[in-house]
């Protein structure tokens, strides 16, 4: 029996949501209707385009380009800062609304969801296009922003379909429509096929998804290894992955920061790493997880990226223990080059810590656990910065502009 999958994608999510926020707070213009972008803070060296209005797009402005370059394309461009708190609220509202249609819902990102509606004929009938329109229109009416709905027999097709003409549209991409609707597209329009693979494919004379579907599998494997198999399958519209409700835990927890200026002083970098350790380990404990692999990642002034990691014998969720490793990793790897961005990633996450400790060590850990627990509850109640370890007080570090 064919499956029925919907992919719901908020049109211009950050820009639409900011437009709503601004209108609610007395702003006269709807920024969806002027040349506008949501962009990071240039004075903090985060000046890239996060989202663009349709008019800004007409000027050739693309996501992730620098605001400097975007302004060169459109002199009258207006730039607004992101409002992540509001975005998360909107995202949650949308998710809760969509979840009323089926428990088989997967939140793919802050502004995208997959719904598996297979076998819901008795509930909603079998006119899926009408159902999609109903969902789309209800969202517009209830929340004030528009979405695209893609309908397909698997996630890949639903996702590709929602990417067709925007905004405020419903599209289908059934398997018998692959040749007419998907094959004419360029290879980089295929989901999970990015710039770098597209470039290689073009060099092999493969330009459209049709070319890719007809390409020799052995050739693809030779150049792309296992991705070659994926490309071929995807070009044929095949995908067997399931809609996975996101009660499953994270595979990794990370934090990173671009610094307002390149930092070369080790003490400063360690202070930043400590404050980042507090953040990730707090998240870790909030999710009731323990980490076995700790990584420090950084980028230097020349944009070269580094990552160095260590795998522990026993998983942990204690700030002090994690920081001890972070410090070691950093001190043993850093070449004293100026650092632009620095972060921490915890992976190999487990539900429970193995207790392969001596009794003495274990009682020590328990005391530390209790301390973390109390501190976490205070942070949850009163916010970050409300509690500071006495031993680390002097290390509390704020990145300030020079």
Contact residues for DNA, defined by CB under 7 A: 13, 40, 42-43, 45-48, 50, 63-64, 66-68, 71, 108-112, 191-198, 225-227, 250-258, 283, 293, 295, 303, 305-311, 333, 341, 343, 347
Smallest gap, in angstroms, from Cβ of residue 246 to DNA?
10
Catalytic, 89? Answer: no
Residues 6+ apart with CB under 8 A from 26: none
- The answer to whether 62 and 52 are in contact (CB under 8 A) is yes
Between helices 13-24 and 84-99, what is the axis angle to 10°?
Answer: 110
Smallest gap, in angstroms, from Cβ of residue 176 to DNA?
24
Q: Of these residues, 65, 112, 276, 278, which one is catalytic? A: 112
Smallest gap, in angstroms, from Cβ of residue 382 to DNA?
21
The nearer residue to DNA, 237 or 343, going by C-beta atoms, is: 343
The nearer residue to DNA, 51 or 170, going by C-beta atoms, is: 51
Smallest gap, in angstroms, from Cβ of residue 196 to DNA?
3
CA–CA distances in Å: residue 315 to residues 190, 223, 341, 356: 39, 38, 27, 10
The nearer residue to DNA, 131 or 206, going by C-beta atoms, is: 206
The nearer residue to DNA, 100 or 305, going by C-beta atoms, is: 305
Closest by Cα among 254, 253, 256, 283 to 269? 256
The nearer residue to DNA, 308 or 327, going by C-beta atoms, is: 308
Smallest gap, in angstroms, from Cβ of residue 13 to DNA?
7
Catalytic positions are 112
């Amino acid at each position: 029996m064919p499956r029925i999958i919907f992919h719901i994608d908020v049109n211009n999510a950050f820009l639409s949501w900011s437009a709503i926020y601004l209108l609610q707070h007395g702003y006269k213009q709807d920024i969806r209707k002027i040349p506008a972008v949501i962009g990071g803070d240039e004075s903090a060296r985060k000046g890239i385009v996060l989202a663009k209005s349709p008019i800004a797009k007409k000027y050739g402005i693309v996501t992730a380009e620098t605001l400097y370059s975007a302004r060169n394309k459109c002199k009258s461009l207006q730039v607004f800062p992101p409002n992540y708190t509001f975005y998360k609220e909107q995202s949650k509202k949308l998710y809760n609304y969509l979840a009323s249609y089926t428990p088989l819902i997967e939140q793919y990102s802050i502004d995208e969801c997959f719904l598996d509606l297979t076998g819901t004929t008795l509930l909603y009938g079998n006119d899926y296009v009408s159902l999609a329109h109903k969902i789309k229109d209800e969202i517009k009416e209830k929340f004030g922003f528009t979405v695209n709905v893609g309908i397909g027999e698997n996630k890949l097709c639903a996702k590709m379909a929602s990417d067709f003409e925007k905004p405020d549209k419903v599209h289908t991409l059934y398997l018998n429509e692959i040749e007419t609707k998907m094959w004419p597209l360029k290879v980089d329009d295929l989901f999970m096929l990015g710039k770098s693979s597209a470039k290689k494919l073009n060099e092999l004379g493969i330009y459209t998804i049709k070319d890719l579907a007809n390409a020799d599998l052995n050739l693809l494997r030779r150049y792309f290894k296992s991705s070659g198999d994926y490309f071929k399958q995807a070009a044929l519209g095949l995908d067997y992955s399931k809609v996975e409700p996101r009660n499953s835990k994270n595979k990794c927890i990370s934090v990173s920061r671009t610094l307002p200026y390149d930092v070369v002083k080790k003490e400063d970098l360690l202070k930043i790493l400590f404050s980042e350790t507090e953040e990730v380990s707090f998240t870790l404990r909030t999710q009731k997880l323990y980490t076995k692999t700790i990584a420090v990642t950084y980028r230097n002034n020349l944009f070269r990226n580094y990552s160095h990691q260590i795998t522990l014998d026993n998983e942990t969720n204690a700030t002090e223990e994690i920081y001890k490793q972070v410090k070691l990793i950093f001190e043993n790897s850093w070449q004293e080059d100026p650092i632009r961005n620095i972060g921490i990633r915890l992976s190999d996450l487990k539900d429970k810590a193995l207790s392969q400790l001596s009794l003495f060590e274990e009682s020590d850990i328990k005391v530390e656990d209790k301390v973390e627990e109390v501190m976490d509850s205070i942070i949850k109640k009163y916010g970050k910065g409300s509690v500071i370890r006495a031993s680390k007080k002097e290390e509390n570090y704020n990145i300030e502009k020079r």
